[in-house]
A and B are shown apart, each in its own frame.
Chain A
Amino acid sequence: MLGCGDWLTRRLDRRAVVRHTARLALAAPLAAVLAACGGGGTGGGSSPVASPVASRDTRAPRRGGSVRVALTGEPPNLDLHQTTDSIVLLVTGHIYETLFTWDDRYEPIPLLAESHEVSDDGRRIQVRLRQGVPFHNGEEMRAPDVIASIERWGRIVGLGQGLLRVTEQLSAPDPYTVEFRLSEPFGTFTTALSRALQGCAIYPKSVLDRSSDTHLAEFVGTGPYRFVEWQPDRHILVTRFDDYAALPGEPRGYGGHKAQYLDEIAFIPVPDEAARVAGLRAGTYHYLETISTDHYPTLRDDPNVAVDLLRPDSWLNVVLNLKSPITGNHTIRRAIQLALDHEPIMQAAFGEGFYELTPTLLPGADAWYSEAGAEHFNPRRPEEAKRLLQEAGYDGSPLRFLTTQEIQQEYNATVVIKQQLEQVGFTIDLQVYDGATLSDRRDDPAAWEAYTALASFRPDPVLRNLTCKATGWWCTPEKDELLARLQTESDFKTRVEIWHQVQQRFYEEVPRLKIGDSRRILVRSPKLQGIGPTELQPELANAWLEG
Chain B
Amino acid sequence: MIAYVLRRVLLLLPIMLVAGSVTFALLHVIPGDPAAVMLGPEATPEQVAALRERLGLDEPLLAQYPRWLSRLARLDLGTSIFLDKPVTAAIRERIVPTLQLTLYALLIAVAVGIPAGVVAALHQDRLLDRALMLFAISGTAIADFFLAILLILLFSVTLRWLPSGGYTPFSDHPLQHLASMTLPALALGLSLAGLPARLVRATLLDVLREDFIRTAAAKGLMRETIAVQHALRNALLPAVTVLGYALGDLLGGAVVVETVFGLPGMGQLVVNSIARRDFPVIQGVVMVFAAIYLLTNLLVDVLYVYLDPRVRYAGR
Candidates A231, A279, A453; contact of B41 at CB < 8 Å:
A453
Q: Which of B100-108, B256-264, B306-314 lies at the interface?
A: B256-264
Residues of B within 8 A of A470 (CB): 44
Task: Report B146 CB to chain A, min CB distance, Å.
Answer: 10
Residues of B within 8 A of A279 (CB): 152, 156, 164-165
Whether A83 and B31, one on each chain, are in contact in the complex, defined by CB atoms closer than 8 angstroms, is no
Residues of A within 8 A of B40 (CB): 76, 83-86, 88, 197-198
The reply to whether the CB of A271 lies closer than 8 angstroms to some CB of chain B is yes
Whether B167 and A439, one on each chain, are in contact in the complex, defined by CB atoms closer than 8 angstroms, is no
Task: Report A263 CB to chain B, min CB distance, Å.
Answer: 18
Residues of B within 8 A of A213 (CB): 54
Q: Which of A31-39, A281-289, A506-514 lies at the interface?
A: A281-289
Of all chain A residues, the one with the shortest Cβ separation from B156 is A282
Chain B stretch 15-67: residues in CB contact (< 8 A) with chain A: 30-33, 36-49, 51, 54-55
A233-B263, A282-B163, A434-B32 are known contacts; what are 9 more A-B pairs with Cβ within 8 Å? A76-B37, A83-B39, A84-B41, A84-B43, A85-B41, A233-B265, A284-B165, A469-B44, A469-B45
The reply to whether the CB of B88 lies closer than 8 angstroms to some CB of chain A is no
**Complex CA–CA separation, A88 to B45 (angstroms):** 20
Instruction: Encode contact with B along A431-459: 1 for CB under 8 Å, 0 otherwise.
Output: 00111111111110000000001011000
Whether B264 and A233, one on each chain, are in contact in the complex, defined by CB atoms closer than 8 angstroms, is yes
Chain A stretch 128-156: residues in CB contact (< 8 A) with chain B: 156
Residues of A within 8 A of B31 (CB): 433, 436-437, 440-441
Task: Report B82 CB to chain A, min CB distance, Å.
Answer: 6
Whether B268 and A233, one on each chain, are in contact in the complex, defined by CB atoms closer than 8 angstroms, is yes
Chain A stretch 242-279: residues in CB contact (< 8 A) with chain B: 268-272, 274-275, 278-279
Whether A82 and B38, one on each chain, are in contact in the complex, defined by CB atoms closer than 8 angstroms, is yes
**Complex CA–CA separation, A48 to B260 (angstroms):** 38
Residues of A within 8 A of B37 (CB): 76, 435-436, 439
Total contacting residues, chain B, CB less than 8 A: 54
Whether A270 and B262, one on each chain, are in contact in the complex, defined by CB atoms closer than 8 angstroms, is yes
**Complex CA–CA separation, A434 to B46 (angstroms):** 21
The reply to whether the CB of B175 lies closer than 8 angstroms to some CB of chain A is no
Residues of B within 8 A of A74 (CB): 82, 272
Whether A76 and B82, one on each chain, are in contact in the complex, defined by CB atoms closer than 8 angstroms, is yes
The reply to whether the CB of A214 lies closer than 8 angstroms to some CB of chain B is yes
Candidates B44, B94, B276; contact of A158 at CB < 8 Å:
B44
Of all chain B residues, the one with the shortest Cβ separation from A272 is B260
The reply to whether the CB of A77 lies closer than 8 angstroms to some CB of chain B is yes
The reply to whether the CB of B1 lies closer than 8 angstroms to some CB of chain A is no
Residues of A within 8 A of B167 (CB): 234
**9 CB < 8 A contacts A-B:** A85-B40, A197-B42, A231-B93, A275-B260, A278-B152, A278-B153, A278-B164, A436-B275, A440-B31
Residues of A within 8 A of B134 (CB): none
Binding site for A on B (CB under 8 A): 30-33, 36-49, 51, 54-55, 82-84, 90, 93-94, 145, 148-149, 152-153, 156-157, 160, 163-167, 259-265, 268-269, 271-272, 275-277
Of all chain B residues, the one with the shortest Cβ separation from A231 is B264
**Complex CA–CA separation, A469 to B41 (angstroms):** 14
The reply to whether the CB of A215 lies closer than 8 angstroms to some CB of chain B is yes
The reply to whether the CB of A73 lies closer than 8 angstroms to some CB of chain B is yes
Whether B33 and A269, one on each chain, are in contact in the complex, defined by CB atoms closer than 8 angstroms, is no
Whether A73 and B272, one on each chain, are in contact in the complex, defined by CB atoms closer than 8 angstroms, is yes
**Complex CA–CA separation, A69 to B102 (angstroms):** 28
Residues of B within 8 A of A233 (CB): 94, 262-265, 268-269, 272
The reply to whether the CB of A232 lies closer than 8 angstroms to some CB of chain B is yes
Instruction: Encode contact with B along A51-91: 1 for CB under 8 Å, 0 otherwise.
Output: 00000000000000000000001101100001111101000
Instruction: Encode contact with B along A203-228: 1 for CB under 8 Å, 0 otherwise.
Output: 00000000011110000000000000
**Complex CA–CA separation, A74 to B38 (angstroms):** 11
The reply to whether the CB of A465 lies closer than 8 angstroms to some CB of chain B is yes
Chain A stretch 270-322: residues in CB contact (< 8 A) with chain B: 270-272, 274-275, 278-279, 281-284
The reply to whether the CB of A347 lies closer than 8 angstroms to some CB of chain B is no
The 3 closest A-B pairs by CB, nearest first: A84-B40, A436-B32, A85-B40
Task: Report A480 CB to chain B, min CB distance, Å.
Answer: 14
Residues of A within 8 A of B272 (CB): 73-74, 233, 271
Instruction: Encode contact with B along A28-52: 1 for CB under 8 Å, 0 otherwise.
Output: 0000000000000000000000000
**Complex CA–CA separation, A269 to B49 (angstroms):** 28
**Complex CA–CA separation, A517 to B1 (angstroms):** 71
**Complex CA–CA separation, A83 to B83 (angstroms):** 15
Whether B165 and A270, one on each chain, are in contact in the complex, defined by CB atoms closer than 8 angstroms, is yes
Most A CB atoms within 10 A — which of B39, B48, B153, B265? B39
Residues of A within 8 A of B82 (CB): 74, 76-77
Task: Report A70 CB to chain B, min CB distance, Å.
Answer: 8
Whether A469 and B164, one on each chain, are in contact in the complex, defined by CB atoms closer than 8 angstroms, is no
Chain A stretch 393-428: residues in CB contact (< 8 A) with chain B: none
Task: Report A313 CB to chain B, min CB distance, Å.
Answer: 15
Whether A275 and B262, one on each chain, are in contact in the complex, defined by CB atoms closer than 8 angstroms, is yes
With A197-B40, A284-B163, A439-B41 in contact, is A232–B48 under 8 Å at CB?
A: no
